[in-house]
């Protein structure tokens, strides 16, 4: 990090004010992330996430693979063969 040369106290005060505001913003972001984490860890959300991830993401590919086989089996069963 480069050292900054100040020529007036106003420059120092301005940079200190900027740093203070940046610190407050980061603090608010941390609080927001903590609240979001608390919400995501409720039993309802945990169950929702569990059910969401239990369904394979490539379900469409699986259906495309097995659909013709199921249709053929169904028609063969209807015919009695």
| Each residue's pLDDT tens digit, 17-55 | 999 999 999 999 999 999 988 888 887 777 777 666 655
Question: Encoding tokens for residue 29?
Answer: 């972001």
Burial class (CB in 10 A: 0-12, 13-18, 19+), 31: exposed
**Higher-scoring residue by pLDDT: 77, 25:** 25
pTM over 0.75: no
């Amino acid at each position: 990090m480069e050292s900054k040369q100040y020529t007036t106290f106003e420059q120092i005060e301005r940079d200190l004010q900027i740093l203070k505001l940046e610190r407050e913003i980061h603090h608010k972001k941390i609080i927001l992330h903590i609240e979001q984490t608390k919400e995501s860890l409720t039993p309802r959300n945990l169950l929702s996430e569990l059910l969401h991830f239990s369904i394979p993401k490539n379900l469409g590919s699986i259906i495309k693979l097995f659909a013709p086989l199921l249709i053929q089996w169904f028609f063969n069963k209807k015919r009695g063969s």
